[in-house]
Amino acid sequence: MTLVMPLFALIIVLFGLVRRVPVFDLFLEGAKDGLQTLYHIAPAIMGLMFAVSLLRASGAMEALCQMITPLADAIGFPAEIVPMALLRPVSGSGATALLLSVFSDCGPDSFAGRVASVLAGSSETTFYAVAMYYGSIRVKFTRHTLPAALAADFTALVMSIVTVRLFFY
Amino acid sequence: MLNVIWSLLVIVSVVCSFLFGKSENLSAAMVDSGADAVELLLTLAGILTLWSGIMKIAEKSGLTTLLARLSAPLLRLLFPALDKDGEAFGFITMNLTANLLGLGNTATPLGLRAMAELDRLNGHGDTASDEMVIFVVMNTASLQLLPTMLGSLRQSSGSTAPFEILVPVWLSSASALTVALSIAIILNKKNNRTPR
């Protein structure tokens, strides 16, 4: 699995060479786009990391997790990732801040860390995407878009626990 | 919505720190969080710059088009009413392929153009068409072949095997996509029985 990223890069560069495109020039062009994306998301990341770190330092996060723990334990769900699961459909940067908070509390290779990783990788910022796409064409009645999209997030939540148990324990 | 959530997080934290007697921790966190955020941004800068560069090669060398052509027959089943050579269907396949490759920058403008085309076919109405529902749902449950950002965040947090979660991520997002599409298709059919 450690070979995944290098192999992916190798295939793309070889494909580019076969197709005779200016590989490095394209790389620079894309890298510039990447930096622009970073420039756009940086303020949100700063603001949300600030809020999440306050939540952790004030003991509020701990209290929240303690409150959730009995319920979460009953359904076999790690309480530490509940805040992230709740914020995920609303804010990508917020979910990233909370994902890192799970990593530093439990470790990325712990049960909670793995479930949080799978959840982060298989769900989307649903509300943002729905608002952006429909807002762009001024559609007001989205019919059953939101229920279906939220069902996807809920499925990802359940499947992240199921798959991590299946693969690692 | 984020205005409310963000304010709530800050207010709850400050009030709780008084209740739990952790005001000192809070002051320290206010100083440290900025530094932590900058550190994270630097890690992200590395990943985003590198992979956006590599994926640009994939895009311009025609790998995206190739994948779009391969996935078109499958996507046609989801959009039976669309003209398979039409612009709307073209943008939809390109958007979904870009998402599959993790090309967020490319995917969003293509998605917006797909929506604009679907809007035209829908007569610029204020109610979503069946195709719009399916397309937006697919975008909110999008499958990504290589979650580079996730892998790098895991690695920078000290994971010994950052990509060990790859297959679980695929399975989980494929299930999410299947469930969401099934619901969307069933409700599309049900709604259409009675005139809108």
Each residue's pLDDT tens digit, A11-41: 999 999 999 999 999 999 999 988 988 898 8
Instruction: Please give, rounded to a whole number of angstroms, the shortest distance from the CA of A78 to a CA of chain B.
Output: 17
Domain total of chain A = 1
Most A CBs within 10 Å: which of B32, B44, B54, as the mutation test of the A interface? B54
Each residue's pLDDT tens digit, B7-33: 999 999 999 999 998 888 898 998 888
> Taken in order B156, A94, A107, A4, is the CA torsion positive or negative?
negative
Nearest to B22 among A57, A91, A143 (CB): A57
Each residue's pLDDT tens digit, B85-124: 889 999 999 999 989 888 877 888 899 999 999 999 999 9
Residue B160: the pLDDT is 92
In a domain, A5, yes or no: no
Residue B30: the pLDDT is 87
Check whether A4 has a pLDDT greater than 90.
Answer: no
Nearest to A58 among B17, B168, B172 (CB): B17
Residue A65's domain comprises 27-168
Check whether A53 has a pLDDT greater than 70.
Answer: yes
Residue B192: the pLDDT is 72
In a domain, A19, yes or no: no
Residue contact A35–B164, C-beta within 8 A = no
The whole-model pTM stands at 0.90
Instruction: Please give, rounded to a whole number of angstroms, the shortest distance from the CA of A105 to a CA of chain B.
Output: 11
Residue A58: the pLDDT is 92
pLDDT band at B196 (very low <50, low <70, confident <90, very high): very low
User: Residue A127 to residues A136, A139, B57: CA-CA distances in angstroms?
Assistant: 14, 15, 31
Instruction: Please give, rounded to a whole number of angstroms, the shortest distance from the CA of A116 to a CA of chain B.
Output: 10
Q: At which residue do the structure tokens 């610029």 appear?
A: B124
In a domain, A4, yes or no: no
Nearest to A139 among B62, B126, B180 (CB): B126
In a domain, A22, yes or no: no
Q: How many CB pairs under 8 A join A and B?
A: 337
pLDDT band at A1 (very low <50, low <70, confident <90, very high): low
Which two structure tokens, joined as six digits, stand for B88? Answer: 């709307």
pLDDT band at A102 (very low <50, low <70, confident <90, very high): very high
> Which amino acid is located at B179 in the chain?
V
CA A93 to CA A38: how far, in whole Å? 11
Average pLDDT of A33-53?
89
pLDDT band at A155 (very low <50, low <70, confident <90, very high): very high
> Taken in order A21, A27, A32, A38, is the CA torsion positive or negative?
positive
Check whether A80 has a pLDDT greater than 80.
Answer: yes
In a domain, A11, yes or no: no
| Average model confidence (pLDDT) across chain B | 89
CA A109 to CA A100: how far, in whole Å? 12
CB contacts of A23 in chain B (<8 Å) are 57
CB contacts of A123 in chain B (<8 Å) are 141, 173, 176
Residue contact B141–A144, C-beta within 8 A = no
Looking at mean pLDDT, say which of A64-73, B129-138, B154-163 comes out highest: B129-138
The nearest alpha carbon in chain A to B22 belongs to: A58
Check whether A2 has a pLDDT greater than 80.
Answer: no
ipTM rounded to 2 decimals: 0.89
In a domain, A20, yes or no: no
CA B104 to CA A36: how far, in whole Å? 12
Average pLDDT of A144-169?
94
In a domain, A162, yes or no: yes
Average pLDDT of A105-109?
94
Nearest to A117 among B10, B63, B165 (CB): B165
CB contacts of A94 in chain B (<8 Å) are 2, 5
| Average model confidence (pLDDT) across chain A | 91
Most A CBs within 10 Å: which of B56, B138, B187, as the mutation test of the A interface? B56
Residue contact B172–A99, C-beta within 8 A = no
Instruction: Please give, rounded to a whole number of angstroms, the shortest distance from the CA of B74 to a CA of chain A.
Output: 20
The nearest alpha carbon in chain A to B99 belongs to: A124
Cα torsion A14, A16, A17, A18 to 10°: value is 90
Question: Among the listed ranges A160-169, B105-114, B121-130, which one has the minimum average pLDDT value?
Answer: B105-114
Residue contact A155–B179, C-beta within 8 A = yes
Question: Among the listed ranges B54-58, B135-139, B142-146, B148-152, which one has the minimum average pLDDT value?
Answer: B142-146
Q: Please choose, from the candidates A127, A112, A144, the residue with its C-alpha nearest in 3D space to the C-alpha of residue A99.
A: A112
Looking at mean pLDDT, say which of B50-54, B135-139, B141-145, B190-194 comes out highest: B135-139
Nearest to B173 among A37, A38, A121 (CB): A121
